[in-house]
Amino acid sequence: MNKAEQLVKLLIEKKYTVSFAESCTGGKMAARIVDVPDASKVLNASIVTYANEAKMKYANVSKDTLKQYGAVSENTAREMAEGVAKANNADVAAGISGIAGPTGGTEDKPVGMVCFGFYIDGKVFSDTKHFGNIGRNNVRDESVEYVLDVLIKELS
C-alpha cells in the first residue's frame, strides 16, 4: 500500500475529510489523493492558491500575515491550512507554500524551502523543510511526500 492509499484508509477509518491549500505543489497533493480509489469518501475540496490574492480569498490568509511574514512562511501556511479546513468543513487540512525554484530564492528563503501548515481536528501546527536546490519538480514531489508522512503519522 502506498502512502496516499494509507492516508485515504486512515481518513476513512476516522470518518475524516481532508482539504488542501497548495501553492508551490500546484495541485499535486490533491492529485495523489484522487489517484486512490475511494478518494471521494475523504476529499471534499482542494485549492491551488498560487497568488497572494488567492491565499486571502480562498484560504482566509490575512493581508497582515502576508505583509509581515511573506507567502513562504509558517504563519501563512498555518493560516492556509486552517482557512481551507474551515471553508470546506474538513477535519484535516494542509497548507503548502514554498520556493520550488530554480529562481525566487533569497538568503533568508532559499530555493527548496517549503513551509507547511497542518490542521487536524482543530489543532494547528507547522513546519519548514529545506529540500535544497534539487530541481523544481523534485521540491514539489518531496513536499507532497512530506505532507503524506506527517498526516499518516499524526492520524495513526
For 55-67, the pLDDT digits (tens) are: 999 999 999 999 9
Could you give the number of structural domains in the chain? 1
Distance between CA 18 and CA 44 in Å, rounded? 7
Q: What was the pLDDT predicted at 131? A: 98
Ordered strands of the 43-48 beta sheet: 43-48, 18-22, 92-98, 113-120, 123-130
Quote the pTM value: 0.97
Structural domain including 34 reads: 3-155
Which pairing describes strands 18-22 and 43-48: parallel, antiparallel, or unpaired?
parallel
Please give the grid coordinates belonging to residue 48: 491551488
Closest CA to 20 of 44, 47, 2: 47
CATH code at position 35: 3.90.950.20
Q: What was the pLDDT predicted at 10? A: 98
Run of H or E including 56: helix 52-59
